[in-house]
Amino acid sequence: LILDFFSGSGTTAHAVMDLNKEDGGNRRYICVQLPEHCDEKSEAYKAGYKTIADIAKERIKRASDKIKIEIKEEIKKTETEIKKLQGELPTEETIEEIDKLQNKIKQLENQDLGFKVLKLSDSNFKQWRQINDKNINELDKQMELFVNPIANNANVENMIYELLLKSGKELNCNIVQTSDFVRINENELVFLLEKATQKIIDEVLKLKPLKVIALDKLFEGNDQLKTNTALQMRDAGVEFKTI
């Protein structure tokens, strides 16, 4: 894992992807860059890149696209070499060379050139303010606000990543988002962030996840459904938590 905390225009990310392609490596990288503003007179700024981080994102994307094309060309070239060797009389050397070239193709096909862009921002969940216990009116107002603890500017994708971090999971987890729920690392963790019905609960239970996290507001005051869900999860050996 390569860490670059002053990543600038993304040179490190570009170099790591190039090196992985050359030797079939599986190096990963994390690049961190403050949203430092570009000079308004610069060509980059005029082209729409307001910060150095914007330049880095575009560079990594273009580098990834370029390497994908190079990989396709390399695979095609290698396949031609294999066909040529297969047309010759088989010897120990040619068989060994064919195996080597086939492994090379597998390594090229398995190159991961995707990347995620994350930035530090406010929580998707409202933060409880410490207030004077004697101020009943303020306490009532805050309790009312927390009937729905989701921040006004929250969205599902951002909530997924915030909950991943709060659950101690890696940001590069395998995430599968369906119309009803979100699966993390196959059946390790399930998020219910948009709706909760008995049918959905039953579908989740069939997956036998280790843990389920649901937004409390999804139960819409239906205490029976919430209680039954908690009991079903407990009976199935699934850790259940509501927010």
The confidence score (pLDDT) of residue 127 equals 72
pLDDT at residue 141 tops 90: no
pLDDT in tens, 101-140: 999 999 999 998 999 999 888 888 877 666 666 667 766 6
Q: What is the pLDDT of residue 160?
A: 94
Tell me the domain boundaries of the chain.
2-109, 121-151, 155-242
pTM above 0.75, yes or no: no
What is the CA angle 197-166-7, rounded to 5?
125
Is residue 132 within 8 Å of residue 138, measured between CB atoms?
A: yes
Q: Give the model's pLDDT for residue 17.
A: 95
pLDDT of residue 100: 93
Convert 4-31 to b/e letters by CB count within 10 Å (16 or more is b): beebebbebbbebbeebbeeeeeeebbb
As a whole-number percent, the residues of the chain with pLDDT over 70 amount to 92
Does 238 score more than 90 pLDDT? yes
Total residue count of the chain as it appears in this document: 243
pLDDT higher than threshold 90 for residue 35: no
**Residues 71/110, Cβ–Cβ less than 8 Å:** no
Q: Shortest CA distance to 183 belongs to which of 211, 216, 217, 155?
A: 211
Query: Model confidence over 49-81: pLDDT tens digits?
Result: 999 999 999 999 999 999 999 999 999 999 999
Q: Provide the mean pLDDT of the chain.
A: 90
Pick the closest to residue 31 from 51, 6, 68, 50 (CA basis). Answer: 6
Q: Around 155, how many Cα atoms within 13 Å sit in the side-chain half-sphere?
A: 3
Please report the pLDDT score of residue 131 as a whole number. Answer: 62
pLDDT tens profile 175-219: 999 999 999 998 899 999 999 999 999 999 999 999 999 999 899
